[in-house]
Amino acid sequence: MSPTVHSSFYKFVALDDPAALAAGLRALAGPLLGSVLVAHEGLNGVLAGPEEALDAFERGLTRDPRFAGMAFKRSACRTPPFARLAIHVKPEVVTVGVPYAPAVGTQRTPQEWRDLMARDDVVVLDNRNSFEYRLGHFAGAVDPGVTNFRDFPRYVAEHAAEWKAAGKEVAMYCTGGIRCEKTAAWMQDLGLTVHELQGGILNYFHAMPDAERDWQGECFVFDNRIALDTHLQQTDTTAEQVYAGEPDGEWRLARAKRLHEAA
């Protein structure tokens, strides 16, 4: 049996009929397991299965010109990441409460990101939940202290004037890039100079063999593997360790256990 491989992907693109796309994706997914969210603003997915099944899915999806050139980030699986396939239509593909708009000139390659982090006039901002930050983050990054991504815009709005007054630019990162891309244009509208890590942490780990120079700890992933190291390998960290002491830790741990027991 072929080993299980994980693939994450997203794209912001205007979709007139998300329900029709979701139906087509269910047919295209075949034996794959995972989750795909579809909305008028685009799609956001994580799937896992044999590499040949992922190849077929990705070929089929990118035949649609709306998804040509979409990036797929793959990583190994020691633990089956998912127990079922769920493809849903939602109001947003990442819930934050600010409308998506394309940002201009904000994407930075991993090497450019390394250079940005060394600058004194840059605030490196972690665009994730606090429990993700505590498990691992870029050295010197700021934890916005949010328990849910919907709280992130409030943190930025409260600090934007301070950063601008200090002549600071903002370099933000998240796991795969989608949370940053959703908020970048909104932050530009606040008058901030914004940089995004292209492809997120996972792309940085893939592109930079010495990522441990810049990264402290592990990277949380929202599946049964729990966490990856800088070489995209699953670690031994457990959900109990991740969620200990979190305000909503009991709920998150119960959810993680349900997913694990069903896998």
- Residues acting as catalytic residues: 174
CA distances from 150 to 145, 153, 156 (A): 12, 7, 11
CA distances from 111 to 108, 140, 198, 205, 233 (A): 8, 17, 10, 11, 21
3-state secondary structure of 260: helix
Task: Return the half-sphere exposure (C-beta side, CA atoms, 13 A cut-off) of residue 133.
Answer: 21
Do strands 85-89 and 33-39 pair parallel, antiparallel, or not at all (unpaired)?
parallel
φ, ψ (nearest 5 deg) of residue 227:
-150, 150
Compute the distance between CA of residue 239 and CA of residue 224 in angstroms, rounded to an integer: 9
Confirm if 58 and 45 have CB atoms less than 8 A apart: no
3-state secondary structure of 189: helix
Closest CA to 51 of 76, 69, 19: 76
